[in-house]
Amino acid sequence: MNLIGQPVDRVDGLLKVTGEARYAAEFPEARLAHAVLVTSTIASGTIASIDASRAQALPGVLLVMTYQNAPRLPNGGRPALAPPAGRRLSLLQDNQVHYSNEPVAVVVADTLERAVDAARQLRIVYQQSSAAVDFALAKPNAHAPDKPQGRQTDTQRGSFEDGMQSGPVHVNATYTTPIEHHNPMEPHATMARWDGPQLTLYDSTQGVSSAAQAVAKVFGIGPGDVRVISPFIGGGFGCKGSSWSHVSLCAMAAKQTGRPVRLVLERPQMFGPVGARPRTEQRFAIAARHDGTLTAMRHDSISNTSTIEDWTETCCMVTRMLYAVPNQVTTHRIVPLNLGTPTFMRAPGETTGSFALESAMDELAAALKMDPLALRLKNYAEADPQENKPWSGKSLRECYRIGAEKFGWSKRSAAPRSMRNGGTLIGMGMATATYPANRSEAAAIARILPDGTAMVASGTQDLGTGTYTVMTQVAADALGFSPENIHFALGDSTLPRAPVSGGSQSAASVSPAVREVASQARNQLIALALADPASPVHGIALDDITVDNGWVTSRSQPGKRDPAAAIIARAGGKPIEATSTVKPGDEKQKYSFHSFGAVFVEVHVDADLGTIRVPRVVGVYDVGRVLNEKTARSQLMGGIVWGVGAALQEESSVDTRYGRFTNANLAEYHVPVNADIGALDITFIDQPDPYINSLGVRGIGEIGITGVPAAIANAVYHATGVRVRDLPVTLDKVMGVA
Ligand code: MOS
């Protein structure tokens, strides 16, 4: 493998910086009409009346679609798929309102401006009923979800009570994290066009095949009748992993108007109808011996869901696998609120759960007067303690060692508030990062073309992560072609099927399929050349043959070589083609697949004002083989930056009178800017996972955010002596006491 791992520049970089890359809302279309989503202004109740007469009378208005005139969908618009794959959508099938900002109408006009204007003229009168929007008040209604995301709701191992007795040092603490909303640069956007019974959607989605399937189910048509195209995506992070209401509403509007329709969510509409990270409240009880050995751990997580789905933030997953604690109880409960349904948001469960767990471990270290890193090493899990399986690979010890060395952890003085520089309190904190290594079935196709280049494709997606680039590398490497001679295609549901780009699974799932088809095509090319008496390599033994830069070449006599174009031309000019579907075997039964990392951060806290800066973060990661050192680094960097945001800034604030978010815009919903980010030092162990797939590749999309919020909160404690258990760690929580 020569190209694998190389820091190859993004193959789509030029298209992006020159504006040539087309996103969902940018495809030109004849007779295009523009839709605007109208959303509810109450959190619970019914629509009493709608006066659409003024809107309808405006010039250029083509359709005002409400529950009164929307086409009736089979099954009442309820997807045949169970959530979370199929979501409970708001498709104007009745007059019920379940949350504020829920879609209640779609207005379509010949221009966007006219649609926006007409949408404002819609008069909707509501019959309000009492809404549950306050987490604290609704908490008594918490109930157990049924197998959240297919996982066990609660777990128990050993005897928690016995474990509490045998460990004299205890930590009891509750950690809370706020509702957060995904805010990719590109909001959700869809363009729908019907050609007779055939529906084509240009959609910003993390899963072209799953989106096609979900929309087909909504309309009761065959999955082959829906084509979803999504070549470029301006960020997904989980909110684009499900097909939400606006996608089917756009298709409904296109059907009703008989024209192609484009629907782009406005930024405030990102706060409700398309998912969120829910609020969590996580209680920890831990017991340990004086030497740091964990004897018992209990983690009870409560998160909010909506009134229409049981979506659950699986906070306890990290707790179940990270440390060798013999006696453990974990539970998940959910509180239904009249808010939009939460969903997957970058490392869902692991981001929130690792904040609580890794804060609690820091509290335990403080109680034990033990180094936080030493405490983690003391309880290092040599095998998965919940599944009782060996790890497929775990180099976490190396992550800790290298991270501590690069960071200068040994220079940290143990006591809180013991490091300062004038008016600046200095804090050092660390935490463990981890995320499961997922993989699903994926298919691909490779074609060597008569011009000597290759077309390789899979119906996967590139969320901005680098899929185009790494798959080009994998294909080029397996074919023996130069990357410039590979055209890699993705983002189209008519291509060989690949899974949704969620759960950090795309690289691990798609790269073995691409490698397989590229290898098959290469073998066919070699066979053609060897069998052809006119070829310079005719008669050379197979084990003396390689493909070098598109030439079938003798290893021992490099002068004997034959270019792909000539081989194909002499064979009649037909492209060489290979397709394959590659699936995981039974390795998941034998091994536990996770990635790991160690995060070290330094914070500077103004002793008077409580302002917190993060001048540097050191992260060391065991994520299996790295496909591209550059795009991988960017992925981890993005994850860490988001971790800084989650630690210090991000929070969707609910107005408990109305159930609306008061900061539903990028001015008041704070995410880090360049000035908020210091030096990020990222290292990969780059050890192939021997069991996950033919390349040893695990995903890297989500692990970067994990551990970072805890490492920062732990560093703030070390700087100030103030333990903040409620994210985000804002200055008001440390001011005065700092
Ligand atoms: Mo990721 S939150 O599974 O898109």
pLDDT tens digits, one per residue of 269-321: 999 999 999 999 999 999 999 999 999 999 999 999 999 999 999 999 999 99
Number of H helices, E strands in the chain: 17, 31
At 673, is the pLDDT very low, low, confident or very high (cuts 50, 70, 90)?
Answer: very high
Distance, CA 244 to ligand 1 centroid (Å)? 15
What is the Cα–Cα distance from 703 to 383, expressed in whole angstroms? 20
All structural domains of the chain with their residue ranges:
31-130+182-270, 280-438+589-734, 440-583
pTM: 0.97
Identify the pLDDT of residue 81.
65
d(CA 99, CA 272): 8
Residue 350 pLDDT > 80: yes
Evaluate if residue 524 carries a pLDDT over 90: yes
Upper half-sphere CA count for residue 135 (Cβ side, 13 Å): 16
The proportion of the chain whose per-residue pLDDT surpasses 90, expressed as a percent, equals 97
Mean pLDDT of 226-248: 97
Query: What is the rounded CA–CA span in Å between residue 694 and residue 507?
Result: 12
Greatest Cα-to-Cα distance within the chain, rounded to the nearest angstrom: 86
From the alpha carbon of 241, which atom of ligand 1 is closest? Answer: 4
Cα Rg for the chain, rounded, in angstroms?
A: 27
pLDDT above 80: residue 77: no
User: pLDDT tens digit string along 359-414?
Assistant: 999 999 999 999 999 999 999 999 999 999 999 999 999 999 999 999 999 999 99
| CB count in 10 Å sphere of residue 657 | 10
Ligand 1 pocket member 348 (CB < 6 A): yes
> What's the gap in Å between 236 CA and the centre of ligand 1?
8
Among 506, 509, 702, which residue has the most ligand 1 atoms within 8 Å of its CB, making it the best to mutate?
Answer: 702
- Separation of first and last alpha carbons in the chain: 53
Whether the CB of 435 sits within 6 Å of ligand 1: no
The reported pLDDT for the residue numbered 85 is 64
Closest among 67, 69, 75 to 97, alpha carbons compared: 67
| CATH code assigned to 31-130+182-270 | 3.30.365.10
Mean pLDDT, range 685-690, rounded to an integer: 96
Dihedral class, residue 109 (left if φ above 0, else alpha if ψ from -120 to 50, else beta): beta
Q: Is residue 639 in contact with ligand 1, taking CB distance under 6 Å?
A: no
Is 440-583 a CATH 3.30.590.20 domain? Answer: no
Work out the average pLDDT over 639-643: 98
Sequence-ordered alpha helix ranges (H) in 532-563 = none
Half-sphere exposure of 134 (CA within 13 A, CB side): 7
Helix, strand, or coil (residue 459): strand
Catalytic residues: 702
Dihedral, 632, 637, 640, 646 alpha carbons, nearest 10:
-110
CA–chain centroid gap for 213, Å, is 20
CB distance 353 to ligand 1 below 6 Å: no
Q: Is the pLDDT at 738 greater than 60, yes or no?
A: no
Class of CATH domain 280-438+589-734: alpha beta
The residue-averaged pLDDT of 127-150 equals 96
Per-residue model confidence (pLDDT) at position 705 = 98
Ligand 1 center–CA 348 separation, angstroms: 7
Query: What pLDDT is stored for residue 75 in this prediction?
Result: 79
Kindly report, residue by residue over 410-466, the tens digit of the pLDDT: 999 999 999 999 999 999 999 999 999 999 999 999 999 999 999 999 999 999 999
Neighbours of 620 (CB within 10 A): 28
Whole-number pLDDT of residue 737 = 64
The atom number, within ligand 1, closest to the CA of 240 reads: 4
Structure confidence at residue 139 (pLDDT): 97
| Per-residue confidence (pLDDT) for residue 80, from 0 to 100 | 61
Read off the DSSP letter of residue 674: G
435: left (phi over 0), alpha (psi -120 to 50) or beta: beta
pLDDT band at 82 (very low <50, low <70, confident <90, very high): low
pLDDT at 618: 98
Q: Is 496 in the pocket of ligand 1 (CB under 6 A)?
A: no
What's the rounded mean pLDDT across residues 498-504? 97
Mean pLDDT score, 223-233: 96
pLDDT recorded at residue 701: 96
Q: Report the C-alpha dihedral over residues 328, 304, 185, 43, rounded to 10 degrees.
A: 180
Residue 79: its pLDDT value, please? 64
For the CA of 503, the closest atom of ligand 1 is: 3
pLDDT digits 0-9 by tens, 88-123: 999 999 999 999 999 999 999 999 999 999 999 999
Cα distances from 152 to residues 276, 280, 720, in angstroms, run: 22, 18, 38
Q: How far is CA 101 from CA 122, 203, 398, 417, 729, in A?
A: 15, 21, 48, 45, 28
Distances (CA, A) of 445 to 254, 492, 556, 582, 708: 33, 13, 31, 11, 39
For residue range 570-611, list pLDDT tens digits in order: 999 999 999 999 999 999 999 999 999 999 999 999 999 999
d(CA 302, CA 177): 11
> Which of 330, 270, 274, 277 is closest to 300 using CA atoms?
330
- What mean pLDDT comes out for the span 510-519? 98
- Is 294's C-beta closer than 6 angstroms to any atom of ligand 1? no
pLDDT for res 86: 73
Q: Taking all residues of the chain, what is their mean pLDDT, rounded to a whole number?
A: 97
> Where does the pLDDT of residue 87 fall: very low under 50, low under 70, confident under 90, or very high at 90 and above?
confident
Domains 31-130+182-270 and 280-438+589-734 equal at CATH topology level: yes
Query: Could you report the per-residue pLDDT of 463-496, keeping only the tens digit for each?
Result: 999 999 999 999 999 999 999 999 999 999 999 9
CA-CA distances (angstroms) from residue 40 to 76, 113, 131, 347, 629?
A: 20, 21, 13, 30, 46
Please report the beta strands in 61-151, taking only residues with DSSP state E, as ranges in sequence order: 61-65, 96-97, 103-109, 123-128
What DSSP designation does 559 have?
Answer: T
- For residue 666, the CA-to-ligand 1 centroid distance in Å is 21
